[in-house]
């Protein structure tokens, strides 16, 4: 938690800036100081959240998941109302988002699994809320149920809706169209919907159930367009050219799952677990959409 105290150094930076300039540049100094006060807290709060001791081993995956540039691309900013979709499986991004949002005066909401999905999902929700129960560190973790039959997530109340590696799950359960429509309704006019997903090459055949865990960029764009979103842009922040997206156990062949043959299963020809570890995490696209104003 000491890392969050870095924000206290910002005032010192502004003081030094003022002391280094002469009286003839008072207007420029005041403008520069104001800019520093606006920009530095944002950077410091993000850096503090990413370097926080509470993240533990999760931080080892930053080289693949690139949290800071990803969240900057999506436009995460102070004072926002942010909805993270389905973090209950582990909440990897929650460990960065929640501390940042607490320190910058926003509100964080997790769209957790709806209870109707069963005990396994309810248990995952419980693990998630217990993991992030420290309000002094993570702030208030608001929750709303999300799933095939959950209904609205909150009409027009969010500035930012974020989804990390979830599109294939909605496709597999047959409610991708409903999910995108729910996200659209949940956003304020002008609000941003950010998606990171495992990339299936456009030259491959897209299984509508996405059983491999990979989804084409064009498929996700079509889902967003049907829901009413405008496409803003794409980033290759989370690309991995080593990933061929054609593994025997789908994306789960790669880290962090690193699936191997189970007892009694035939070993795929040429299977080499070490080779898949060397690939790293999946090749992922990063897309940004907007709800029209």
User: What are the pLDDT digits (tens) for 113-144?
Assistant: 999 999 999 999 999 999 999 999 999 999 99
| pLDDT of 22 strictly over 70 | no
Supply the range of the domain harboring residue 32: 1-51
Give the closest residue to 150 by CA, choosing from 184, 112, 187: 112
- Do the Cβ atoms of 121 and 88 come closer than 8 Å? yes
For residue range 176-228, what is the model confidence (pLDDT) as tens digits? Answer: 999 999 999 999 999 999 999 999 999 999 999 999 999 999 999 999 999 99
Regarding whether 90 and 9 lie in a shared domain, the answer is: no
- Residue 154 sits in a domain whose CATH number is 3.40.50.150
Regarding whether 106 and 7 lie in a shared domain, the answer is: no
23: pLDDT confidence band, cut at 50, 70 and 90?
very low
Regarding whether 122 and 265 lie in a shared domain, the answer is: yes
Q: Environment class of residue 8 by beta-carbon count within 10 Å: exposed (0-12), middle (13-18) or buried (19+)?
A: exposed
Regarding whether 246 and 178 lie in a shared domain, the answer is: yes
- Mean pLDDT on 276-286: 98
What pLDDT sits at residue 43?
66
Task: Specify the number of domains making up the chain.
Answer: 2
26: pLDDT confidence band, cut at 50, 70 and 90?
very low
Regarding whether 64 and 47 lie in a shared domain, the answer is: no
Regarding whether 129 and 30 lie in a shared domain, the answer is: no
Regarding whether 66 and 9 lie in a shared domain, the answer is: no
Regarding whether 268 and 225 lie in a shared domain, the answer is: yes
Regarding whether 128 and 6 lie in a shared domain, the answer is: no
The rounded mean pLDDT for the chain is 89
Regarding whether 76 and 175 lie in a shared domain, the answer is: yes
40: pLDDT confidence band, cut at 50, 70 and 90?
low
Regarding whether 16 and 161 lie in a shared domain, the answer is: no
Regarding whether 177 and 43 lie in a shared domain, the answer is: no
As a whole number of angstroms, the distance between CA 178 and CA 191 comes to: 18
For residue range 54-106, what is the model confidence (pLDDT) as tens digits? Answer: 999 999 999 999 999 999 999 999 999 999 999 977 899 999 999 999 999 99
Contacts of 93 (CB under 8 A, 6+ apart): 65, 67, 84, 87, 162, 164
Positive or negative, the CA dihedral 18, 22, 24, 28 is: negative
């Amino acid at each position: 938690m000491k890392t969050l105290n870095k924000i206290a150094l910002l005032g010192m930076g502004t003081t030094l800036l003022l002391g280094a300039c002469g009286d003839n540049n008072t207007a420029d100094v005041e403008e520069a100081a104001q800019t520093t006060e606006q920009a530095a807290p944002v950077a410091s709060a993000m850096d503090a959240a990413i370097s926080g001791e509470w993240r533990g081993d999760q931080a080892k995956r930053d080289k693949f998941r690139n949290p800071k540039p990803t969240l900057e691309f999506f436009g995460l900013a102070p004072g926002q109302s942010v909805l993270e979709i389905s973090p209950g499986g582990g909440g990897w991004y929650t460990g960065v988002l929640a501390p940042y949002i607490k320190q910058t005066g926003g509100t964080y909401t997790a769209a957790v699994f709806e209870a109707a999905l069963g005990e396994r999902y309810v248990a995952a929700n419980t693990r998630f809320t217990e993991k992030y129960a420290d309000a002094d560190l993570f702030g208030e973790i608001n929750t709303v149920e999300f799933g095939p039959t959950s209904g609205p997530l909150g009409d027009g109340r969010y500035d930012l809706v974020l989804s990390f590696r979830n599109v294939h799950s909605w496709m597999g359960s047959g409610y991708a169209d409903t999910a995108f429509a729910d996200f659209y309704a949940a956003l304020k006019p002008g609000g941003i919907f950010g998606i990171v997903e495992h990339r299936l090459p456009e030259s491959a055949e897209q299984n509508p159930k996405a059983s491999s865990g990979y989804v084409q960029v064009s498929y996700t764009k079509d889902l967003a367009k049907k829901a009413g979103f405008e496409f803003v842009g794409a980033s290759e922040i989370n690309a991995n050219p080593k990933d061929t997206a054609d593994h025997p156990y789908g994306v789960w062949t790669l880290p962090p799952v690193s699936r191997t043959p189970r007892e009694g299963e035939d070993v795929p020809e040429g299977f080499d677990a070490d080779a898949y570890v060397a690939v790293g995490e999946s090749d992922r696209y990063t897309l940004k959409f907007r709800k029209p104003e």
